[in-house]
A and B are shown apart, each in its own frame.
Chain A
Amino acid sequence: MFEMPSGAEIQSIISTLRAGAGYFIPEIYLSALFMVLIILDLVLRGRKNRILASATIIGLLGSLYFIFQQHGLPDTEIFFGMYALDRFGIFFKYFFVLTGVLAVVISIEDEQLNGQDAGVGEYYALVVAMVIGMMMMASSTDLLMMFLAMELVGLSAYVLTGYLKNDKRSSEAALKYLVYGAVSSGMLLYGFSLIYGLTAQTNITKISMELIQHGYDPLVMILATLLVMAGLGYKMGAVPFHFWSPDVYEGAPTPITAYLSTGSKAAGFALLMRIFFVAVPHVSEGVEDMLSIDWLTIMMIIAAASMIYGNVVAIWQKNVKRLLAYSSIAHAGYLLLGIITMDKIGTQAVLVYLSGYLLMNIGAFYVIVTISNKTGSENLDDYKGLGKKMPLAGAALTVFLISLVGLPPTFGFVGKLMIFSALIAKGDLFMWLALIGILTSVISLYYYMFIPLNMFLREADKDNQAEVRTGMIPNIVTAVLMILTLYFGLFFQPIADFAGYSASMLGAVLN
């Protein structure tokens, strides 16, 4: 059946690709960075951890320039409708680059990671690969491309999770992650293939048009929806697809835990928003359609379950990383609330919330790394009396946790404020979800405060009360993250404006 394309066709394909490449520069640049890092690793001798890390940070920061250049470009689909350039995608490009930079910054400090005999060779290259994958997740407009991007993120993440080769927990986590990942990829792919079967399209805009014009079999569509949600829910770490996350978060190297819980989760949300807003026909598009209602129902259930389950189960956790894993399940629930509203305020709220989550979550993990470097433990009990020994770390961690609860004057509060605003703007329709969100955030205070409770209210078992020196760079990074969390809690206008500007997606009508 396959016919060789004619010369003219090949010519036109090439010219389309070349035109598209102009809109693809950050990704190309980062792919080059990925290669450079691998080569650097091969060429350099001796202790090269710091050099590789610095090269990664500089390289990633360099990509910000290319992303910034994209602001002037018009919104377009490139590569035959595979990929989009729009404000929504650009926001996430910034987001993932910054997540990557911060993950590397944490990695530099992690003694467990740097103390490995095998070195950190391809570690940083994989971090960059994940950045590329996540960027593509946020910008893909084609089911195939989405799947590829997710696999790129997934495969890099499996390796990174198991990076502590001598640590049994790390290997176990990687294996669990892989198995769950494989299953959920399968489900996602199955869902995609059903959608393709119904519409004969893989581009999400065309899928939407097809669904509107020709209708569909509701039973098959509901099945496809469920399967797609399962695949995405796994990436977002939302109930009931969360089972991997506590084990993986606990076992993975802490920087990777931070990276997964922020970057990979955000990428899942970006993808969900794109599919939901673009591929699913909405009432606002003049369709009397039940499909968006089905999606909404599923998302509402997932959101409520995530908020309740994550926040309640976290109460019994004794390991700080595990505790934050459950908290991140709960945060997936809060983020879903912003998507459920299906409007511009909601999208803006999700973007603001994610920005806040980036700062506070990474900040919390950063402090956890500095602490575990000194105490060698992530158990809650070993945090006793630490507030006295490490006052800055203690204060900063308290700020990050308060921000995770969503109390002013922190960035986390702004996120919650925007999310709940978006819900209440819809009148009383989603009030019950706002109530669940509010009540569970009170519960969350209880377990988040376990950490300051141990740090400040309890005395250390041993009688060494000497202050622990943490070094200059960790102190500066901690302080900067803490101050930013507080600063944006009070002066959030720039972030909120940028999020509002970015709440615009190719092929979606958000109002």
Chain B
Amino acid sequence: MLSLIVFLPIIAGLVILAVPASQKQVIRIVSLLAAVAQGVIAVLIWRQYDPTMAGIIAAPGGSPVGSFQMIERIPWISLNLGSFGPLTIEYFLGVDGLSITMVILTALISIIGVLSSWTIQKQVKGYFILYNLLATAMMGCFVALDFFLFYVFWEIMLLPMYFLIGIWGGPNREYAAIKFFLYTLFGSVFMLLVMIGLFFSVVDPVTQHHTFSLVAMASQENYVAGSILGPGSVMWRYVAFIVLFVGFAIKVPMFPFHTWLPDAHVEAPTPISVILAGVLLKLGTYGMMRINFPLFPEVYQAGLYVIGVFGAINIIYGAFCALAQQDLKKMVAYSSISHMGYVLLGLAAGNSEGMLGALYQMFNHGTITAMLFLLVGVIYDRAHSRAIDKFGGLASYMPVYAGIVAVAWFASLGLPGLSGFISEAFVFVGAFTSPTTRPIAMVSVLGIVFGAAYLLWSLQRMFLGKRKPDALYELETDAHGHEHIHFHDWNGKIDLDARELTMLVPLVVITIALGIYPMPVMGMLTASINKLVTVLAPVAAAAIQ
């Protein structure tokens, strides 16, 4: 099941390889079918998923796969490393509350991404092959329970992303693409060193082989005494934690590693921005929750304050930057930075409420930001401009568009009744409950105000007020002195078309539905979050030291 959902896109990619490049429609439909099939499987997984089973960790003496679900576990590579004894790498997939939310999000965003890619005209074949490769890698990251496998998927993501930004991007795409590539690689090569250090330090409790299994690594009993990352090796455990954290923080992106994001977003084509903001950024925080924190809980406990401070910087700095932007897409990009700050703040709270809020915020940010970028893409397709001050009074001739924009913008600023509110509320409840993060939370609340400021201000400037004769239309005065709007290119039908509505309406529905009744998603992740919090708890952490 999980293998299928991971590898469906790449199979579609291979099919596309055989289709002649001129058959653009066939290529698109194959991709869409794969994405929809992925969505169907995601729903099946969701139906089968038992929310009472927590995952996260395997109980000592219990099943080596813990309470993960839909497990696929095949020995992949087994090496004999001389004096270090045997080493196993497994093809090990499984889901728990952390990953299933992300699996569903990824499947959803993948479908929307394909739909949004419909308008790509340049080298369609190459585009969709890379797109499908990316989709496989993303999904793989979220279900991999073997560090080696995770790392392989993590790195496979980079190359398609580089080309998708670099070939189909905007004018400054070369710079943005290589910047993205170098930044992320910089983070992940250090992860490689930590990964190697970990497998020398961890043995599988059953086979006594050195292992890459993340489930085994999450149990501190499996660490070999005297090994480089084993108990007692305080300095290296701190170093490893920081290195992993930076690697994931680059992906989040956390201040001060965020500068690649605005560049990448501005240059990337709309569907790739959607994928980037909707899924890829979540990989950073997912990695923290799955790998970084549970493997080094005592360092996590020691670093709560720092993580929280960085979260607050993200929230406020991102909001300030967004406030200053003239380019709508750049504003949305900075709003992503700001919103991922809430996730970090939630993680820093270290209690169930904060963690729950963080994970839920990851899901909601995925859907809301996808919507924001799609909406930016809509206006860019029509006007070939994203400058906020070029537009005015859009609501009067694009009413449907303006309506959806309003929902998305309000969801983003956390209006009650929409999904963003619930997750941010949980984050703040968590952050205020924890004495460590309480002062940080007090400052971070300001972020909501600034968030509202840039969102409302842009909404006001673009959609309300006086119409501006802009890139979209010109005002023509006829012989009688009446003014008529003359649209460029769009034959007067300038509001959203059917394809755009197909992409946006489900997201709007999800945003509203999860804002009113969050349990379908939240119910799945509570057990896992509670378990994660106990794994990370100060008592457990103190026991290691």
Contacts and interface: CB of A to CB of B under 8 A. Distances in A.
Q: Is the interface of B mostly helix, strand, loop or mixed?
A: helix
Contact of A343 (B82, B159, B178): B82
A449 B196 CA distance: 26
Contacts of B78: 493
A457 B177 contact: yes
B79 A438 contact: no
Interface in B346-382: none
A407 B155 contact: yes
Interface string B166-188: 11000001100110011001100
Contacts of A361: none
Interface in B74-105: 77-84
Interface residues of A, number: 44
Interface centre among B77, B173, B199 (most CB of A within 10 A): B77
Interface string B220-250: 0000000010000000100000000000000
Contact of B82 (A344, A391, A416, A456): A344
Contact of B190 (A388, A438, A497): A438
Contacts of B182: 442, 445-446
B196 A417 contact: yes
A428 B228 contact: yes
B81 to A, nearest CB: 5
Contacts of B305: none
Given A421-B81, A453-B166, A441 B177 contact: no
A363 interface: no
B189 A442 contact: yes
Contacts of A491: 77
Contact of B79 (A416, A500, A510): A500
A452 B163 CA distance: 9
A218 B293 CA distance: 51
B79 A343 contact: no
A407 B83 CA distance: 27
Contacts of A490: 152
A421 B196 contact: yes
A392 B30 CA distance: 22
B151 A425 contact: no
B200 A420 contact: no
Contacts of B151: 408
B377 to A, nearest CB: 21
A408 B137 CA distance: 12
A427 B228 contact: yes
A491 B354 CA distance: 41
Contact of B185 (A416, A427, A445, A458): A445
A493 B87 CA distance: 11
A493 B200 contact: no
Interface string A407-444: 11100010011001100110110000011001101100
A453 B228 CA distance: 40
A128 interface: no
B185 A442 contact: yes
A490 B76 CA distance: 9
B117 to A, nearest CB: 18
Interface string A340-375: 000111001000000000000000000000000000
A297 B189 CA distance: 26
A424 B228 contact: yes
Contacts of B185: 407, 442, 445
Given A344-B82, A441-B189, A408 B77 contact: no
A326 B77 CA distance: 33
A408 B191 CA distance: 13
A446 B178 contact: yes
B156 interface: yes
Given A449-B162, A511-B82, A425 B200 contact: yes
B163 A407 contact: no
Contact of B163 (A391, A408, A456, A500): A456
A431 to B, nearest CB: 8
A457 B77 contact: no
Contact of B192 (A344, A438, A457, A500): A438
B82 A345 contact: yes
Nearest to A352: B79
A442 B186 contact: yes
A457 B159 CA distance: 13
A453 B174 contact: yes
Contacts of A511: 82-83
Contacts of A424: 193, 196-197, 200, 228
A393 interface: no
B174 to A, nearest CB: 6
Contacts of B200: 421, 424-425
B193 A388 contact: no
Contacts of B186: 442
Interface string B477-491: 000000000000000
A452 B167 CA distance: 11
Given A409-B156, A497-B79, A456 B167 contact: yes
Contacts of B81: 345, 348, 421, 425, 500
Most buried by B among A402, A408, A409: A408
Interface in A476-511: 490-493, 496-497, 500, 503, 510-511
19 contacts: A344-B83, A348-B81, A391-B126, A408-B151, A417-B196, A421-B81, A424-B193, A424-B228, A428-B236, A438-B193, A442-B182, A446-B182, A449-B162, A456-B167, A457-B173, A490-B152, A492-B77, A493-B79, A500-B79
The 3 closest A-B pairs by CB, nearest first: A344-B82, A408-B152, A457-B166
